[in-house]
Structure 1
Amino acid sequence: MHNIEPPNILIFKEDGERKISKVNYYSLINDDTFEIISESHKKVEKNIAKIESNQRSLLDTLPEDRQKLATKKLNWIKPILTFESAKSGDMYAVIAFNEHYKKYLKEGETVQTLSKKELLKRISEDKDCGKSTRQLERYLAAYLESESQRDNHGVEGLVSKAHLNSHVRSDDLPLELCHPKKKELILDTIFVRLHKDYIPILKTAIEDYYLGKRRKNVSKLHTIIQLKCINEKIEPLEYDTVYKIVNRINPYVLEKLAYGDGGTDPKIMNTNANQSFAKVPLQVIEIDHVRLPITVIDENTGYSVGEPWLTLAIDVYTRKVWGMDLSLHDPSGFKVMNCIFNGICMKRTKEKYGTINDWDFHGIPTVFHMDNGSDFTSTYVKSMIEDVLHSEVRYRPIATPRYGGIIERYFRTINQEFLEDLLGFRYKTNPDKNDRKEAAKDAILTLNNLRELLVHYITDIYHHDVHKGLPLECNTPCARYYQAIEIMGNPPFIKEEDEPYYKIQLLPSDMKSYKNDGIREENVKYASPETTRFISNKRKKNCKIKFDIEDISRIYLLDPESKSYIEVPSIYPPADEIAGMSRKLYQIIRKLLIEKGEITKQQIPGSANIIKGKELLAVVVQSSNS
């Protein structure tokens, strides 16, 4: 293509006359001989795939026959959806229609000359369909209505409403249990499926009799509840019903109340306040770090490189994992950023890791609950959450290390149900140096191996496993989430094309001087022809930069005029030599080079020095493992 002069395109023919010709845009793309190749073809396929949503959350919860019926309806209306996109001027939709639904076009006919009414008639007459045009129009309307409420979820509008109503319940009522002496303190919230008249009876009986007693007698509690029901002239509850309800009270709450003043324990007060406050998905997120008791090895040398840190964020309402970061870096604001970026973006786990289910939980939360560590209270983290995401930051009370029961319990679950079966796992909670060495001898997993296994565990096992803290009728994180989005719609999320913007916005920033030889940041020099206009003879720091400590091969420099960031590669060491290298690893290599006299403290290592430094590091790692 040489140029565009709407509605015509100037093209250069490489064979034949080898000259520039003018052709009509629609004539070109409707021509049978017109083909697209390479990257353009991939874009067409991607556009076709957009009609079939990758996030098939509701369909995955349906019986197989219901899934097949919804998919059939979608296949019947897909030609219409593609046709309407083509009519609106989408070139890729035109190509897609010609490639997949050409059977609906008569000889010499094009998408532009075909009417929607005629297309509906031809689909209806197709032996593979057999539905009337009126039925097809109803399916199309249902799809578009669902799509308008939640992008990429139009197919859910094709699921029978009668079936949905039989599976999605909204009559789970919250039973809030308060401290027997401090009624303003909510200790636990249990969802029950009973008439609302039973809620005050259960609440009073459990709080006044059952909570705080060392010896808890369910039979006596059942008798008390029966008498109260009779007084209120309602049907008394069965013993099994009462037993199941009290059996779902948080055991930690019962223990603290029985053996101490558990109602004033900040862990109970704040954790259950979170639960009470969270009424929808992504309203409250708990985030914290833990060092996993398993040794990982270097993927190149095979030597152990230590125990990784896991940063995890869990949604209080659904108990689904929202975001994670697994790395060898110590807890920091940057690890928090990685976890948050993972949480707000689509995970694409089927594509990246081959999971059975998609990790279809993403978006921007309303509130972040974090502890008072410096990695969470830093200005960088607060600015990232409040200024970029426009969310609220809430901190745990000071001197309450056990606060955050939801995420604490999940860390234990990861150890017991996931890590214990892996080689390199360390069983002792307070190990000495020898214990870690023993675990390291069995280690066979790299950090990437462990990350992939953890993603499979979260996506395909944990999200679909029964959770005691959830209502009986939707007692898995996925079921709880799907029920919520059916009633309330999808939580707010960012578009795929906006992800690069958020990635840069969430990175830490600094002010630097642009000198004749570029910008120096952590003993790396960055420059490009595009950014030499920022050179300043003055000593003031005139440039705002964003940097990624996981990859020091580039920084991002803010252009104050265009208000956009320009990617600036490292020139010394060259970007291709340190691509993907973390700041921590670079500092270790540079320190080794200085100790061996290869460079001075003022020097920046070159390509040969980087290679030498990697060799020195391999020797150090080998000796530490022997």
Structure 2
Amino acid sequence: MSDTEWVQAQLRADVIGRLAERDRVGVAAAEAAAVELGISRRQVYVLLERYRQGAGLVTDLVSRRSDGGKGGSRLSEPVEQVIRELVRTRYLTRQKRSIASLHREIVRVCAVQGLPAPARNTVETRIARMNPVEVGRRREGPDSVRPLQSAGDDVPVIEGILEQVQIDHTVIDLIVVDERERQPVGRPYLTVAIDVDSRCIIGMVVTLEPPSAVSVGLCLAHAVVDKRPWLERLGVEADWPMSGKPKALYVDNAAEFKSEALTRGCEQHGIELDYRPLGQPHYGGIVERVIGTAMREIHQLPGTTFSDPAERGRYDSERTSALTLSELEKWLTLAVATYHGTVHSTLGQTPAGRWAEGVAVAGAPVVTANPTAFSVDFLPVVRRKLTRTGFVIDHVRYFANVLQPWISRREDLGRFIIRRDPRDISRIWVLDPEGVEYVEVPYRTLSNPAVSVWEHRQALARLRERGIAQVDEAALFRMIEQMRHISETAEKTTKRSRREAERRNHAATAKKASPSSALAPPAAVPEAGVTRPASRFEEIEQW
């Protein structure tokens, strides 16, 4: 090798050798080594693996060259110079020329100079070795590389599983159909929680409800429980061992992430709630890239709406829609399992492998045995005073015998903190006066049907349209029954009514699947200033 190559190999041996002494090399350490060596972070992990598998020699880290194949030879320096020059002047520009166009130009210049033209895959290999940040900046502009490189401030360094979990929502680029008539009901929503250190998806919720604090709570509840019973209910044979309570939750500044329900729930369970700095979208790039890649995979399914009308063209999304909400959930579950076993370009290993390493270092994550109790702590909060007959919330009365000891001293107790699930208001959860545990309180009239907040509001609005000023509970539920009867017996069901019916069915299914055990008392809220101890489809580049 030349003197230059030898000096480069010595420098690599010095830097990579220091990393090899560690049991685990985090992203921050790999990034620092990549900057020092002038290579990509992925290449650092490749060199580290080569160093560990070899004898720890300088020659283990020499840049490997292709021999050009059997009977062939490497490209000559003049040809390499042509490639470098045209990549710089033709490919790395805002015109964003394709590799095919670049290769045609290289072939033309080589023919003029009497040089042998390289193959197209050779040109692709040269481009693949380039720094993706620099390529993105030259072709797309500085905003496009913010998820890859921080702009101004440093993104917090995460070096352990569940140290930080990013969570976000999106409307899915797919129209689903109802279970009974297989007619389109619209686009559902996806809420995803991803562990930053391992890039594992630890929680997922698919629902027809718009993003809310409930969506976040359901996603967190999915993240902190053993997923095997859930997978059995879905009828999916997949391995999804990633679960545990996050130490910190990283979210954007949307209203649902600043609700009292989410804030109190995180405080209750010792989860630090952090928000992305305004104007710096690269802080949430990991979960957004997961969602973006998921949408590209969903574009392969029947009924996709694609990302924009231009891409969709004349494709009839509603007519071709075929998947129900539960079928889409199964498909996404299998996609997640496949992703966990795919080598991640940034990590240099599979997310499942990184998760296993994190568990080996930090121990088994803290999980909850009662997801219902955990979910309750993230439901919307209402405050009401206790009356002789129980609680009254939006013209609906709730009572249980457990309330009787408090009724006699209700004047001294003030307003109670009450949690209510918008998908099913047939029961509420009331925090006892000592703030130790929640008690479940059903309708006072048990014969009333389970309804959602949205049905309740529609019925209330319909009664007021009829000029009924004093709304009572009986009239309210009569109106709900009439509305349901009209919806179910209509000769031609509209998309809106089908969607409402599917929302009711999905909520009822979720209720049946939840455990029936008593609610566990919530975790104690940490005192101010006291730090809670830490508890022990093809390759997809963006994931």
Aligned partner of 1:429 in structure 2 is: 308
Could you say which residue in structure 1 is the equivalent of 2:118? Answer: none
What is the aligned partner in structure 2 of residue 466 from structure 1? 343
Match of 1:586 in 2: 456
Alignment-derived partner of residue 518 in structure 1: 390
- Tell me the distance in 2 between the aligned counterparts of 1:271 and 1:620: 60
**Residue 547 in 1 paired to residue 417 in 2?**
no
Q: Distance in 2 between matches of 1:263 and 1:610?
A: 50
Going from structure 1 to structure 2, the CA distance change for 1:551 and 1:269 (only over 3 Å counts) comes to same
Check the 8 A contact 1:554/1:569 in 2, yes or no: yes
Contact 1:555 1:569 in 2 (8 A): yes
The correspondence for 1:289, drawn from 164, 169, 177, is 169
Using the TM superposition, give the Cα deviation of residue 413 of structure 1 relative to its aligned residue in structure 2, in angstroms: 1.9
| SS of structure 2 residue aligned to 1:614 | helix
The structure 1 residue matched to 2:376, chosen from 490, 498, 504, is 504
Find the counterpart in structure 2 of residue 446 from structure 1.
Answer: 324
* 8 Å Cα contact 1:248-1:469 kept in structure 2: no
SS at match of 1:335: helix
Structure 1 position 622 matched with structure 2 position 477: no
Q: Taking structure 1 as reference, are residues 334 and 269 closer, same or farther at Cα in structure 2, changes over 3 Å only?
A: same
Is it true that 1:382 corresponds to 2:259 in the alignment?
Answer: no
> Structure 1 residues 440, 612: closer, same or farther in 2, change over 3 A?
same
> Deviation per CA, 1:589-622, whole angstroms, max 9, x where unpaired?
4445655x49766233465433212123455982
> Following superposition of structure 1 onto structure 2, how do residues 203-282 of structure 1 map, counting pairs within 5 Å?
214=88, 247=128, 251-252=132-133, 254-256=135-137, 260-261=141-142, 265=146, 268-269=149-150, 273-274=154-155, 277-282=157-162
Change over 3 Å in CA distance of 1:301–1:499 after alignment to 2:
same
Residues 588, 608 of structure 1: CA spacing in aligned structure 2 closer, same or farther, 3 A cutoff?
closer
Contact 1:281-1:484 at 8 Å conserved across structures:
yes
1:416 matched to 2:296? The reply is yes
Q: Which residue identity is paired with 1:422? A: L
Q: CA deviation at 1:278?
A: 1.8
> How well do the aligned residues superpose, as a CA RMSD in angstroms?
4.3
CA separation in 2, counterparts of 1:532 and 1:621? 49
Alpha-carbon distance between aligned partners in 2 of 1:356 and 1:570, rounded to the nearest angstrom: 39
The correspondence for 1:373, drawn from 240, 254, 259, is 254
Structure 2 residues without counterparts, runs of 5 or longer: 1-21, 63-83, 93-123, 498-543
Letter in 1 for 2:363: N
The C-alpha deviation readout for 1:570-599, integer Å capped at 9, x for no partner, is 135x46611xx432243234445655x497
Q: Which residue of 2 aligns with 1:357?
A: 238
User: Which amino acid is the alignment partner of residue 465 of structure 1?
Assistant: T
Q: Write the deviation string for residues 177-215 of structure 1: whole angstroms up to 9, x where unpaired.
A: 5998xx9xx9967534435998xx99xxxxxxx9xx956
Name the % identity: 26
Q: Give the secondary-structure state (helix, strand or coil) at the position aligned to 2:233.
A: helix
Task: Provide closer, same or farther for how the CA distance between residues 268 and 527 of structure 1 changes in structure 2, counting only shifts above 3 A.
Answer: same
Measured against aligned partners, the alpha-carbon deviations of 1:105-130 in whole angstroms (never above 9, x if no partner) come to xxxxxxxxxxxxxxxxxxxxxxxxxx
| Partners of 2:304 and 2:317 within 8 A in 1 | yes
CA contact (8 A) 2:390 2:397 kept: yes
Distance in 1 of aligned mates of 2:461 and 2:491: 12
**Structure 1 residues 440 and 468: alpha-carbon distance in aligned structure 2, compared to 1, 3 A threshold:** same
Match of 2:72 in 1: none
Partner of 1:164: none
Aligned counterpart, 2:279 = 399
Q: Deviations over 1:511-570 (max 9, x none)?
A: 201223431223422112331443477598432212212221100122225832221001
TM-score, length basis structure 2? 0.63
The Cα shift of 1:319 comes to: 1.3
The aligned amino acid for 1:354 is: G
Matched to 1:176, the amino acid is E
Q: Give 1:426 shift.
A: 0.8
Q: Give the Å deviation of 1:416.
A: 2.2
Hey, what's the Cα distance between the residues in 2 that align with 1:383 and 1:529? Answer: 27
Instruction: Mark the CA change 1:298 to 1:575 in structure 2 (over 3 Å): closer, same or farther.
Output: farther
TM-score (norm 1): 0.55
Question: 1:260 offset after TM fit, Å?
Answer: 4.8
Supply the AA of the counterpart residue of 2:275.
Answer: Y
1:539, 1:248 → 2: CA distance? Answer: 71
**CA deviation vs aligned residue, 1:160-189 (integer Å, no higher than 9, x gap):** xxxxxxxxx947574315998xx9xx9967
Query: Displacement, 1:500?
Result: 4.0
Gaps in structure 1 of 5+ consecutive residues: 1-168, 203-209, 218-242
Match for residue 327 of structure 1? 207
Counterpart-to-counterpart distance in 2, 1:575 and 1:193? 68
Q: Give yes or no for contact 2:137–2:145 (8 Å, CA) kept in 1.
A: no
SS in 1 for 2:444: strand
Q: Tell me how far apart the structure 2 counterparts of residues 617 and 271 of structure 1 sit (CA, whole Å).
A: 55
Task: Decide whether the 8 Å contact of 1:593 with 1:613 is kept in 2.
Answer: no
Q: Which residue of 2 aligns with 1:560?
A: 433
Query: What is the rounded CA distance, in whole Å, between the counterparts of 1:553 and 1:437 in structure 2?
Result: 42
Name the aligned partner's letter for residue 483 of structure 1.
E
